[in-house]
Amino acid sequence: MVDSSFQRPQTRTARLSVIEEILRNYIITSQAQLQDQLAQEGISVTQATLSRDLDELQAIKIRSAQGSMVYAVPEQSMEATVPQPTNAVEQHALSEEAFDNTLNTHENNNESTVAALESSMQAEHAIRESKLEQQLSRILSGLVTSVVASNNLIVVHTPSGAAQYAASALDRQPLEGVLGTIAGDDTVLIITVNNDVAQERMQWLLSIAQSGNTFNR
């Protein structure tokens, strides 16, 4: 079986990663056999969806050394197509500066005006944070294939070539309790302040990754 210590978001990207790993590690001669193997991993998928997934992975049947026809996938079939950043994140710093300028302009106003301005800032800050989280969800739903926490560390697996983009997306949104990230080719290491935060952030990552997608989509 695929390593069960990792938790997977219920996304198509995660499912494709599991299928690819199964085809690389097991002799699979039919889609029915592949469905059974996926079921052992807790993944239920229809025949039609599985056919589309195999097409996406460019899986083909080849003759094995024993003479049977088995499924195989080419190298780097899950290499990620990294989504392009949107203006929401890029304008984050400009928005902060705009708020500061607004405060300076009104610093001589009476207390009620300042209070109203601060209230407006808080409301806009909440809206901005919500938009950033929505964007992060869209990004991670296509990049995160599995997550596991150990002590104060979180290991996030992505398709090949996508780890640095995923880490960059996380770095753009300050996260309470997160000290930083380190990215390789298909793995992101997230360092948190303690074990409890690592567990909380692992569950948060799973939740936010699958909120932008569905398992059988």
Residue 195 has pLDDT above 70, yes or no: yes
pLDDT range class, residue 46, cuts 50, 70, 90:
very high
- Asked if 28 and 71 count as a contact pair (C-beta separation under 8 A), the reply is yes
Is residue 197 pLDDT above 60, yes or no?
yes
| pLDDT above 70 (res 157) | yes
The residues spanned by each domain of the chain are: 12-72, 87-139
The tokens for 71 are 């499924």
Residues 105-156 have pLDDT tens digits of: 555 555 555 565 566 666 665 565 566 667 788 888 888 999 999 999 999 9
**CA distances, 143 to each of 87, 92, 128 (Å):** 20, 22, 23
Q: What CATH number does the domain located at 12-72 have?
A: 1.10.10.10
Residue type, 120: S
φ, ψ for residue 134, nearest 5 deg: -65, -40
